[in-house]
Chain A
Amino acid sequence: MHFEFNIEGGNFSKAGTASSQLKKILKQLNVDPKVIKRVVVALYEAEVNVVAHAYTGQIFIDIDTNKIEIKLVDEGPGIPNIELAMQQGYSTASPAVREMGFGAGMGLPNIKNNTDELHVASEVGKGTTVKMAIFLIS
C-alpha cells in the first residue's frame, strides 16, 4: 500500500500529522504495537527535522506484509556533514526552534535507533532525502 503526505517547513503545529495518520493505518492493519511505536517515533522525528530545517517536503510510505518503507524528500539547506548530524546531541537548530522544545540533536540518532535501515543523502543548498525501513518479520 502506498501513501503520500506533504510537509510544510516551519509549521510546528502540523508536525506529526503524517505520523499520526500512519499510526492509525498501522493499528488498523494489526501491526504489533511495539513496531508501530518504532515507526511512529522515527517518522515523527523525521517530520520535525523537515519542519525545523527545510522549506517544504514530501513523505512517501510503502507498506507490505514484510516491511514499512518511508522516504522523506525535502527542499532545504541540506546537511553539510551527515556523519556529524548522526551524532547524538549535535544540532544546528536555531534558538527559536530550541525554545519550542525541539532541536536537541536527537533527531537522526533517534531515527537510527528505531529503524532497521536508514539512508541519508543530502546536497547542500538543495535538500535532503531520508530513507528508512522497518521490518515486520524479524
Chain B
Amino acid sequence: MGNTNFHHALKIREDLCIGCSHCMNVCPTEAIRVKNGKSVLFGDRCVDCGECFRVCPVSAIIIDHDDFNNIFDYKYRVALVPAVFTGQFPVDISLRQIFSVLIDIGFTHVYEVENGVEILLEAINETSTPQPEKKPLISSFCPAIVRLIQVKFPALVDNILLLKPPLDISALHIRKEMEEKGIPAEETGIFYVTPCAAKIAAIKDPVGEAASAITGVINMDILFNRVYRQVKQKNNHTCALPSGSKLSNVAMCWSLTNGEAPHVKGRSLAIDEIKNVIEFLERLENDEFSDIDFLELRACDESCAGGVLTISNRFLAAERLRNHVENFQPNPELQYPDSLRSIYQNSEYLQENISIEKVYPRSILKLDDNMAEAMKKMERVNRIMQLLPMVDCGICGAPSCQALAQDIVQGLGNIKHCIFIQKILEQKGELNLEDSVKIMQDIWGYGKTNKYRDLKGI
C-alpha cells in the first residue's frame, strides 16, 4: 500500500533537540515520539504541515531547502515568487523594489506564482460536475492537506481535484517560454520561494506527478532577510526596474483564506488551520454534509500568509495583499530585459498539461494489511488500553495512551514505559528502582531524568 519512504522537508536536528516533547504534543498525525531524550519522526505519518516547527523552542526542527548559491549553477535563474513573499515586507517597500533586489542578488527573472491562477480557475470551472459520491471536490492547492487526506482520510482521496496548483502551472509556463527562446532546459533553474515545508516536500516528491518542473526551493525567511537587508542598504536607483505586479485581484489573494472558494462555481467553503480541517473532514467522511461542491482546505491559519516560514504577522501580510488589490493598476508589459511573455501565450499548452494523476491512499491507521491480523492486534490494543491510565501525559514518550498501546502492539513500545504501570510494578517488587530509572532515561535521556539528583547532589 504505497511507498513509505516519503521525502520530508522537516528534519529534526539531533544535536539541537532537547527532547521537550512540545512537537510530539502538537503533531496532528501523531508522527513524533521521544526516545533517548530526542524527538524521532515517523516518516510515513508526517504530512509536512510544520506544526512541530512552530513550537520547537530551540529551533531543532529545520526545513531542508536548497542552498541559495545553487542558483548560480544555472545560466538562467528564475525566482518563482508567491504573493505572500511581498506580503512580508512593510507597505512602504514597493513590489518593484523587492523584485529589483531579487535581480540584483542574482536572479535573471522574477515570476509571480499566481500568474497561473486564471489558467487554473478556467480549468476548475470547466471540470464537469462530479458524480454525487465524488462531491465535494477538494482543492489540491495545499500539499499538506493532500498528504493529510492520503494518510488519515483514505476514503476521500477520490475527492481531490486532479489539477495542478498555480505554482506548477507557472513553472510549466516558464519552462515552455525558455524552450521557445531556444534555451536548453538544463540552463534554466526555477527556484520557488516557499512559505512552508509542505511545498518543498511536494516539489521533491510530487503526488500525482512524475517530476516537478521546479529546480529548487529557497526558504522564504532566508530570502526575506537577504532582500530586506539589501533594500535597507541601498535605494536601487541603478538597477533595471521590473514593473510592479500584473496580477489580478483574484490571483493576488489566491493563497489567502477564501482565495479560491468564492471564485469556484457552486457552493464552496474555505477552511484553514489543520485541526479545523481534520474536524471537518471527519464529518465529511460520514457524509454528514451534502450539497457542498468545492472545498478550499489549507493547513495553516490564514493560509499561506500563516506559513511556517513567514516572518511578518500573518494578519498584516494578508492585509498587504488585500490592499494591493485596491491599488491594482493593470500593467500589460514588463520593462526589464528578457522578460517572459504573458501566461496566456501558452494557455492551450498549459490546459493540456494541467491534470495530475490519481492520488492514492496510504493509510497510517491500519494495524495490519491483513484484516484477520489487524483484528487480533486491535483486540490487543483494546486490552492494553484498559490497563493504561488514559491521561495522555506523554511521559512514555508517545503522545497518548492510545498511541502507546498501538506502538506496543506494533513492537515499537513497552507497557513498562507507562509511569503509572512502573509505580505498581515497583510496589509489587516486579521492577527494581534501578531498572525503573533506566526506563525513564531511555525515553528522556540522562540529563532530564537525573537533574534533581545531580543539581541537589543527592
Contact = CB atoms under 8 A, between A and B. Distances in A.
A23 B285 CA distance: 9
A52 to B, nearest CB: 14
B371 to A, nearest CB: 5
Interface in B250-266: none
Interface residues of A, number: 23
B371 A28 contact: no
B365 interface: yes
A36 B285 CA distance: 9
Contacts of A124: none
Interface stretch (B305-313, B347-355, B372-380, B390-398): B372-380
A24 interface: yes
Nearest to B373: A30
Interface string A23-66: 11101111101101100110010000000000000000001110
B45 to A, nearest CB: 14
Question: At the interface, is chain B mostly helix, strand, loop or mixed?
Answer: helix
Given A1-B378, A33-B361, A41 B366 contact: no
B287 A65 contact: no
Interface residues of B, number: 25
Given A23-B286, A29-B366, A34 B374 contact: no
Task: Name A's interface SS.
Answer: helix
Contact of B286 (A20, A30, A33): A20
Contacts of A37: 133, 155, 285, 287
B367 interface: yes
B371 A29 contact: yes
Contacts of A64: 375
Given A1-B375, A33-B155, A65-B372, A40 B366 contact: no
A51 B245 CA distance: 55
B333 interface: no
Contacts of A29: 366-367, 371, 374-375, 378
Contact of A27 (B133, B154, B375): B154
A127 B375 CA distance: 33
Interface in B182-211: none
A31 B375 contact: no
Interface in B357-371: 361, 363, 365-371
Contacts of A40: 285-287
Nearest to A63: B375
Contacts of A24: 365
B288 interface: yes
A110 B282 CA distance: 20
A19 interface: yes
Given A27-B365, A41-B286, A44-B286, 10 more contacts: A23-B285, A28-B366, A28-B374, A29-B375, A30-B371, A37-B287, A65-B371, A65-B372, A65-B375, A136-B371
25 contacts: A16-B283, A16-B286, A20-B282, A24-B365, A25-B378, A28-B366, A29-B371, A29-B378, A30-B366, A30-B368, A30-B370, A30-B371, A30-B374, A33-B154, A33-B155, A33-B361, A33-B363, A36-B155, A37-B133, A41-B287, A44-B286, A44-B287, A65-B371, A65-B372, A65-B375
